[in-house]
Amino acid sequence: MRVGLLRERLTSALATAMRNREADAVALTADRTKAMAVSLAGLADDAEVELDALELSTRAAATVLGFHPEHVRRLIRTGRLRATRAGPDYRIRLDDVWPLLEVRYREPGRRRLRQRR
């Protein structure tokens, strides 16, 4: 998919969510849009990307999740967040970030994130 088209769809999804009366739905859509936008940062509009292959650095994942980068590394080391080693740091697939974003909007008592294997 072209990056420019993906950015247009993200803008449209966020605009649609803003018309929703449910605050959690708006917030979750905004968080997902932010994650996608951060993963697309620096790419030209005519570049082709595969959605399954989008990745974030540790620092970018921390920005998206609202955590300190060291906390993201701790989540990786304890197995709660899947990542691959890229030199001295990690690369985190965007698909593996979604559960951490969605856990914020679950009802109380069901927020615990299971260890990923």
pLDDT tens digits, one per residue of 8-64: 999 998 898 888 778 888 888 889 899 999 999 989 999 999 988 899 999 999 999
pLDDT score, position 116:
55
Q: Any idea which residue has 């993963």 for tokens?
A: 39
The letter for the amino acid at 93 is R
pLDDT score, position 113:
56
pTM score of the predicted model: 0.79
Q: Whole-angstrom Cα distance, residue 60 to residue 72?
A: 10
Q: Which of 80, 17, 93, 8 is nearest to 51 (CA)?
A: 93
Q: What is the mean pLDDT of the chain?
A: 87
Q: Whole-angstrom Cα distance, residue 106 to residue 101?
A: 10
Distances (CA, A) of 22 to 17, 29, 88: 9, 11, 41
Q: Which pLDDT band, with edges at 50, 70 and 90, does 105 fall under?
A: confident
